[in-house]
Structure 1
Amino acid sequence: MKTRILGAALGTAVLSGLLVASPAQAKDGVSSARVDPFRGHGGGSVRATVDFVSRTKVRFRNFTVRDICPGDNLPVRARVHWKHTDGTNGRSAWKSDTNGCGDDGTNFGTITRTGSKSISRVYLEVSVLDPGGISQRVYKLSTSRYNQYVHPGR
């Protein structure tokens, strides 16, 4: 009888442990930003799945930049930003959509940021040219994702 109760309690504990989210599940996920079409011209979007690997390493999987119709032959570009725990910032090089205003955009695969400083948070930026202004750009930022290895519980 004691063995059966102990086995049931152990089984419940194991199953309960499997249902609890790990810190990586709580902070990682899809991030995106979008500039809607305006003044008869197209917009753009960026999307990536953020995976924090450690305090100093983050991956952006399926980093995709998309030109949103109508087609206006104006560039759409995007990049990733990160903020270190010491207050300094960094950003990647711009990536541009080269497929016109199709449904798929341009997928740049995985972008990995690794350094010696701890990364506090990351976000994405998309930029489109505003045809109403001289070399004016319209920017949109995604919401920040905080690194769970630096900010547990945030």
Structure 2
Amino acid sequence: MKTRILGAVLGIAALSGLLVPSPAQAAADGVSSARLNGWGKHGGGSVRANVDFVNRKKVIFRNFTVRDLCPGDNAPVRARVVWIHTDGTTGHSAWMKDSNGCGDHGTNFGTIIRTDTKPIKKVYLHLQVYARSGGIRGFAFSADRYNQYA
């Protein structure tokens, strides 16, 4: 009797997709973010956007926000969107820099829409924090967001 019940439960779980994540369940639409914490006199940075895949070739990034984290070190913080096509080629947006200094909310660039000629497999956010001397002090990437239509 216990074997039959266990078999029925496993069968229902497998049919409902609970045991094997589908691409739509594996980080598709939703909030993406990356953060690099500061230390000592050096600040950090963060980037955040709400990712929404519309179809195989179009993705929308809503409320794309770049933020310089305090303490203020007058070093630039910038971020961009990166996309990977189904054929393995990549592309990226222009860098967007926080111009709000050490403000509470960072700089919101609003909505970024990417419509491509090739299917987009996945996207992620790329963050860079610079040192006062001009070199890159650190970088971070968000988790991949996979296109459920590709």
Paired residue type of 2:128? S
Identity %: 63
The question of whether the paired residues in 1 share the 8 Å contact of 2:128 and 2:136 is answered with no
Q: 1:73-129: CA deviations, max 9, x gaps? A: 100000000000011000000000001111100000000111110000000011001
Q: 1:8-65: CA deviations, max 9, x gaps? A: xxxxxxxxxxxxxxx59x7210000001002421000000000000000000000000
Paired residue type of 1:109? G
Q: Find the counterpart in structure 1 of residue 54 from structure 2.
A: 53
CA distance in 2, matches of 1:93, 1:69: 24
- TM-score, normalised by the number of residues in structure 1: 0.77
Q: Find the counterpart in structure 1 of residue 148 from structure 2.
A: 148
3-state SS, counterpart of residue 86 of structure 1: coil
3-state SS, counterpart of residue 27 of structure 1: coil
Paired residue type of 1:85? T
Shift in alpha-carbon separation, 1:72–1:93, aligned structure 2, 3 A: same
Q: Find the counterpart in structure 1 of residue 135 from structure 2.
A: 135
Choose between structure 1 and 2: higher helix proportion: 1
Cα RMSD for the two superposed structures: 1.6
Paired residue type of 1:139? F
Q: Which runs of 4+ in 1 moved over 2 A?
A: none
Residue 139 of structure 1, CA deviation? 0.9
Q: Find the counterpart in structure 2 of residue 29 from structure 1.
A: 30
Written as runs of structure 1 = structure 2, the 5 A alignment for 1:1-154 is 27-131=28-132, 135-150=135-150
Where in structure 2 are there 5+ consecutive unaligned residues?
1-23
Shift in alpha-carbon separation, 1:49–1:134, aligned structure 2, 3 A: closer
CA distance in 1, matches of 2:86, 2:78: 27
How many equivalent residue pairs? 126
CA distance in 1, matches of 2:103, 2:134: 26
CA distance in 2, matches of 1:141, 1:82: 12
The structure that has the greater radius of gyration is: 1
Paired residue type of 1:142? S
Residue 134 of structure 1, CA deviation? 6.0
- TM-score, normalised by the number of residues in structure 2: 0.79
